[in-house]
Amino acid sequence: MIAQLILTAFLLGILLYALTEYRRSPAVGLIAVLAAVGGLYFVWVPSHATRLADFVGIGRGVDLIIYIWIVISLLLLLNLHLKLRAHMELITVLA
């Protein structure tokens, strides 16, 4: 129960940040909102994560959540890389 409350607090913070970030970057904001809402759902109903993991052929629900989190993290890393690359090209053009 304590872990659920702590995770809920963190996920609500992420949700609040995602809603404010949505105006600047809709794609990142939307992904963060979906991740936070999905995280809140699975924190409070963990048996559904296990059922969903069984449905897609993964052993445990926590493994499924970790795999999804890795994919989301890699997508965000790619987004940051592309933005940094665009900024570097702009700096080169300006120089």
The amino acid at residue 29 is G
Residue 85: the pLDDT is 96
Please tell me the pTM assigned to this model.
0.71
Give the number of C-alpha atoms closer than 13 A to the C-alpha of residue 50, restricted to the C-beta side: 5
- Mean of the per-residue pLDDT values of the chain: 90
Q: Report how far residue 32's alpha carbon sits from residue 14's, in angstroms, rounded to the nearest whole number.
A: 7
Residue 26, amino acid? P
Q: Among 32, 38, 7, which residue's Cα sits nearest to residue 19?
A: 32
Cα dihedral sign, 26-31-36-41: positive
- Both structure tokens of 83: 């933005």
pLDDT at 16: 92
Give per-residue pLDDT as tens, 46-71. 999 999 999 999 989 889 889 988 99
